[in-house]
Structure 1
């Protein structure tokens, strides 16, 4: 079957007649009429009621028209996708990212990305709040969570995961001891990312041992802060035990500012997701940035080989 005939029929039916279809498409009425008649001959049924006063579809015509609507929509979507691939990525990409991820990881990737795509401008908002992607017109929001429930209208693409490890400074360990079991953490000052907790409420860490069995630890934070960098610096200064992603703690462990506690015990991994709108036809600049993150984020967030 010649799919052009289906398209000519769609134009005629969608515009309510040959004259209107000619105005909308630039295709002559005679050609449209001839191709629709040819289509009717092929399918063996009448599709259009021919009347000098009004245009109407037969029952078979209505059924075929409904089918061509999706056909044309899919064809247009495929055409747009190819057109986007052929265009040179340019323009502004608005990105939201947790502060520590921006400072220690995205900052390593941005220069190379921007050298590769000189026509792209990036607006990076380093913030620890949950931005409203659609309302604030953010193209890509990076979020690091143990689990992520995506809001309606958004897509969450997992990029990389990292374990949460326990760390403390050498001075802290000298003062409070080096724990040999997670239960001992309940007697030590800690650092927490949990906010808006009342004094009467308990704070808990869920840790998993070498056999995978969970252990719930009640702890007593001295500092509450969502910002991982502040938690890290506070741990380095001996304020308390921190449970933070391994890639964040890695440089301080390598320099001896921090020591990993209970190395056989970890928390659930945090996964970095790229969150963006479900709308079709992602612009080439945003697609280029997302593809770059998918390729390079796993490398910068890979697990360090702690001793």
Structure 2
């Protein structure tokens, strides 16, 4: 078996046609077509539906393409690992990250990383939307969730875990009283993001150290995905917020917020690094990921989120 034939087939399938594959790779359309035809003859099945109007793979072609993706990815990774030994990582790393994580944690890590790797540039998209990693050509996307559903073509690496805590301002507690059980939260105004909506209702799932479990149906006054806005609204007494501990901890220390029901918490929020499995990770991206693995858990344990930005 000539593995070059599989590579030529991969280029054609990945770019959805011989002409597009020629533009992407510089290999002539005629050579690609001839080698794919030779591959079909060797395996004894048709891999590509010949149609002038659209490009499509047969079932056998789809199966071979999935295997070819892994083959090319492993080959690229092997090449990159050797290249990493002979050169200093360089180039651009395209990173997507939730706004709060970028502003108040990743911002503390980036300067030291870039001093260590002077030939690496970072393009950081601080956004709370769900980015399309492959379509938007993102090298590493950071995501925070209780769990991460697998997506086609992507792999993930858990980096760190944080806990969510309930917080409210002293004025809010003075007006509404200090709750002593999660059930009382249903009668109080709350803050949340739309992700917390389940089966048409807004719910918080809380756990105690003794293993008790409580589902709180609450009624938000504010819906906002951005944790900064939720934090400021909690400080201003708009409602009780359920926020990541690293986001709220400093405000609790300074007395701007009170930790409500401290014995109750949520399942850990896991911060994942998500990246494409269709191509090997380049040395610059690998260096960035390794740096996050080493340093992000430590910086998340230090309360660094100060609310003096507005003052």
**Same fold per TM (> 0.5)?**
yes
Report how many residues are paired.
241
What is residue 202 of structure 2 aligned with on the other side? 203
SS of the equivalent of 2:131 reads coil
TM-score (norm. length: structure 2): 0.71
Corresponding position: 1:235 with 2:217: no
Question: How far apart are the structure 1 equivalents of 2:117 and 2:249?
Answer: 31
Corresponding position: 1:221 with 2:220: yes
CA offsets 1:40-76 (integer angstroms, 9 cap, x no match): xxxxxxxxxxxxxxxxx9xxxxxxxxxxxx99x9788
The Cα shift of 1:251 comes to: 1.1
What is residue 25 of structure 1 aligned with on the other side? none
The Cα shift of 1:131 comes to: 0.3
What is residue 173 of structure 1 aligned with on the other side? 173
What is residue 135 of structure 1 aligned with on the other side? 135
Larger radius of gyration: 1
CA distance 1:79–1:197, change in 2 (3 Å) = closer
Corresponding position: 1:163 with 2:128: no
What is residue 247 of structure 2 aligned with on the other side? 248
The Cα shift of 1:99 comes to: 0.4
Are the counterparts in 2 of residues 162 and 303 from structure 1 also a CA contact under 8 Å? no
What is residue 94 of structure 1 aligned with on the other side? 94
SS of the equivalent of 1:268 reads coil
Question: How far apart are the structure 1 equivalents of 2:76 and 2:97?
Answer: 34
Question: How far apart are the structure 1 equivalents of 2:245 and 2:76?
Answer: 46
Are the counterparts in 1 of residues 80 and 282 from structure 2 also a CA contact under 8 Å? no
SS of the equivalent of 2:268 reads strand
Are the counterparts in 2 of residues 203 and 220 from structure 1 also a CA contact under 8 Å? yes
The Cα shift of 1:231 comes to: 0.5
Q: Which runs of 5+ in 1 are unaligned?
A: 1-9, 16-56, 58-69
SS of the equivalent of 1:205 reads strand
- Runs of 4+ in structure 1 over 3 Å off: 73-80, 195-198
CA distance 1:75–1:107, change in 2 (3 Å) = closer
SS of the equivalent of 1:290 reads helix
Calculate the aligned-residue CA RMSD, in Å.
Answer: 2.9
Are the counterparts in 1 of residues 80 and 283 from structure 2 also a CA contact under 8 Å? no
TM-score (norm. length: structure 1): 0.72
The Cα shift of 1:281 comes to: 2.7
Are the counterparts in 2 of residues 98 and 126 from structure 1 also a CA contact under 8 Å? yes
What is residue 119 of structure 2 aligned with on the other side? 119
Question: How far apart are the structure 2 equivalents of 1:244 and 1:147?
Answer: 17
Question: How far apart are the structure 2 equivalents of 1:197 and 1:206?
Answer: 11
The Cα shift of 1:87 comes to: 2.1
Are the counterparts in 1 of residues 144 and 271 from structure 2 also a CA contact under 8 Å? yes
CA offsets 1:146-197 (integer angstroms, 9 cap, x no match): 1111211111100000111100011111111111111111110000112696
Question: How far apart are the structure 2 equivalents of 1:247 and 1:293?
Answer: 16
CA distance 1:158–1:184, change in 2 (3 Å) = same
CA offsets 1:228-287 (integer angstroms, 9 cap, x no match): 111011001100000011111011111111110000000111100000011343111111
Are the counterparts in 1 of residues 208 and 264 from structure 2 also a CA contact under 8 Å? yes
1:224-303 paired onto structure 2 within 5 Å: 224-302=223-301
SS of the equivalent of 1:128 reads coil
Question: How far apart are the structure 1 equivalents of 2:275 and 2:74?
Answer: 22
Question: How far apart are the structure 2 equivalents of 1:220 and 1:79?
Answer: 54
